[in-house]
Amino acid sequence: MSVITKQAAPGTHSRGFVSEDDLSSAIAASHALADVSPNAAITAGQIVPGHVAIIMDGNGRWAKSRGLPRIAGHREGSRAVRRTVEAAIQSGVSWLTIYAFSSENWRRPAGEILDLTGLLRRYLRSEVAELKQSGVRLRFIGDRGRFDSDIQTDLAAAERDTETNSRLNLTIALSYGARAEIAAAARAALEAVRTGCLDAGGGQESGEDVLSQVAGMPDPDLVIRTSGEQRLSNFLLWQAAYAELVFLDVLWPDFDQAHFNVALKEFSRRERRFGARKD
């Protein structure tokens, strides 16, 4: 497994690049210390991102490599979600957003969509009570209207039942596409101008404020993608403008606290300037 942060010339390590050997050592050390403390891989003084967003990729490849049906990878991926929620809480992360089902995923074969929606039903009915007890607040973003009515009811109930929790804000992107989100926000802004609720001459900042309030959450500080792929795939395109990106060469069902902590350590090494200079 490797972490890819930017391209390096052959035989060199560019600033911010984590070699495969270094990463393997870090994960081995994290596993070795796991019995001592759940936070053993988080060092004193390490900068922890307030908001981590994750593109969970590789369920199908995980299943295929084992000669299993794709749904087996999705089921194992749901267990990785539980491990990641626990890792986020233990690390002190306040916001966690996971990309569970994209708007493009509706193009998949009908049988796979049926399996995925069935898994979503089971997840909502088996996990929400535990998430509530753990202090997790659930939110959902995306076009939930495309799901069956019983799933829509369960989504609303999960949000309502956990709305007073504050230990971790867990946002799950379902039937989500960032381009559609931006287009909808632009239409809402135009309507606000038409009705006099927004000043069309308010300048760049007021326009950005309107768009930034779409999901009702802070911008992600760190975006993690598993499986070795290096793209955002229509996920939080507006919000991730200044996020740090970490690509992990591990399939999502194998993702655990050690991988999460390695990504957090890489984030802590980055110098974030947001377009400004620090001379």
**Cβ neighbours of 183 (radius 10 Å):** 11
| Three-state DSSP class for residue 129 | helix
DSSP secondary structure code for residue 18 in this structure: B
Residues 270 and 268: their CA atoms lie apart, in Å, by: 6
Dihedral, CA atoms, 199, 204, 207, 211, nearest 10 degrees? Answer: -170
Phi and psi angles of residue 26, each rounded to the nearest 5 degrees, phi first:
-65, -40
Q: Looking at residue 37, what is its pLDDT?
A: 38
- pLDDT at residue 203, as a whole number: 57
Alpha helices in 168-230 (DSSP H): 178-194, 204-212
Strand partners, 18: 3
Predicted TM-score (pTM) of this structure: 0.82
Rounded Cα distance between 203 and 128, Å, is 42
Residue 225: enclosing H or E segment and its boundaries? Answer: strand 222-225
Which strands, in side-by-side order, build the sheet including 222-225?
Answer: 3-4, 244-248, 222-225, 51-55, 95-102, 168-176, 136-141
The pLDDT of residue 11 is 36
Q: How far apart are CA 33 and CA 183, in angstroms?
A: 47
Contact 211, 266 (CB under 8 A): no
Catalytic residue positions, numbered = 57, 105
Counting as low any pLDDT under 50, the low residues of the chain are 5-40
Contacts 24+ apart (CB under 8 A), 57-61: 57/225, 57/226, 57/227, 57/229, 57/251, 57/252, 58/226, 58/227, 58/250, 58/251, 58/252, 58/253, 59/251, 59/252, 59/253, 61/227, 61/251
* pLDDT for the residue 46: 85
What are the phi and psi torsion angles at 39 (to 5°)?
Answer: -105, 15
Angle at 272 between CA 266 and CA 278, to 5 degrees: 135
